[in-house]
Amino acid sequence: MILCANPGAQYQAHKAEIDAAVARVLAGGWYILGEETRAFEAEFAAYIGVREAVGVGSGTDALQIALAACEIGAGDEVITVSHTAVATISAIEMAGATPVLVDIEPDFFTIDPAQIEAAITPRTKAIIPVHIYGQPANLDAVLEIASRHKLRVIEDCAQAHGAAFRGTRVGAHGDIACFSFYPTKNLGAIGDGGMVVTNDVALAERARLLREYGWAERYVSHISGRNSRLDELQAAILRVKLRRLDDDNQMRAQIAQTLEDSGDHAQIVGRLCGSVHRS
């Protein structure tokens, strides 16, 4: 059996550094939203090429918080792609909005921009393009449609850490973007975690309020919020893995290319493992 993800093997590949990072956190005595999380947020923002990054509890939480930061909720519609993880739809529904699904571009498994405009109604507030299997959605077309119709673009990057479109990493194109660090992701924690990224300082500040009870200062809630915090252990582990992400992605692509070249159904396997890319 050929696995597209093997969290245990990834841990073994970076074991010494991960063990040292975990020991550092355990000895430090601060386990939630501390220096490791702040450092990882800054490093991840720099890697993606955005101004702001906000660590949260999961990729699903990241999507829901991004929607709420954009003030999308009850009575609103959000267009997204039918071929995605259930988390994309769950987050829209948890935000109180209605998901509207359109089909894929078959060559890339991502949202078909030609089908978006027919799905837009007066209630539409946002488009969520999903970059899946490392394949970026056609962001040029999505952003052009969103601009004409004054819609938010919320990138779902849960399966595309490190992927780029037109030379810029996914997550840096739309109004706001979301990442998952579930252990099977190519940048996976040893537990759960997520990130909201954006170039919009106001959206980032609202996301920070939303992730922790609406607190701008402790115990003072400025807006309604929730508890969705990236813990220090996961942040420390992810800092180690982020430094290795480009090399790990390259190795993954090489393995996928070998599979694609080997015959029987290999083109499909290669696409699913990330060797076929939109230019």
CATH number given to 7-273: 3.40.640.10
pLDDT band at 273 (very low <50, low <70, confident <90, very high): very low
**Residues listed for the chain:** 279
Neighbours of 177 (CB within 10 A): 31
- 34, two tokens: 């501390």
**Which residue, 11, 18, 1, 9, is CA-closest to 237?**
18
Q: Which amino acid is at 270?
A: G
Instruction: Calculate the CA 212 to chain-centre distance.
Output: 19
**Which residue, 92, 88, 77, is CA-closest to 110?**
88
For the chain, report the end-to-end CA distance as a whole number of angstroms: 30
Q: Is the entire prediction scored with pTM above 0.85?
A: yes
pLDDT band at 266 (very low <50, low <70, confident <90, very high): very low
Computed over its alpha carbons, how large is the radius of gyration of the chain? 19
**Which residue, 62, 55, 73, 27, is CA-closest to 242?**
55
Q: Which amino acid is at 167?
A: G
pLDDT tens profile 75-103: 999 999 999 999 999 999 999 999 999 99
Domains of the chain by residue range:
7-273
The secondary structure of residue 263, as a DSSP letter, is -
pLDDT tens profile 144-198: 999 999 999 999 999 999 999 999 999 999 999 999 999 999 999 999 999 999 9
pLDDT band at 265 (very low <50, low <70, confident <90, very high): low
- 261, two tokens: 């070249």
pLDDT tens profile 111-142: 999 999 999 999 999 999 999 999 999 999 99
Alpha helices in the chain (DSSP H): 7-13, 15-28, 35-48, 59-69, 86-94, 116-119, 139-149, 201-211, 232-261, 266-273
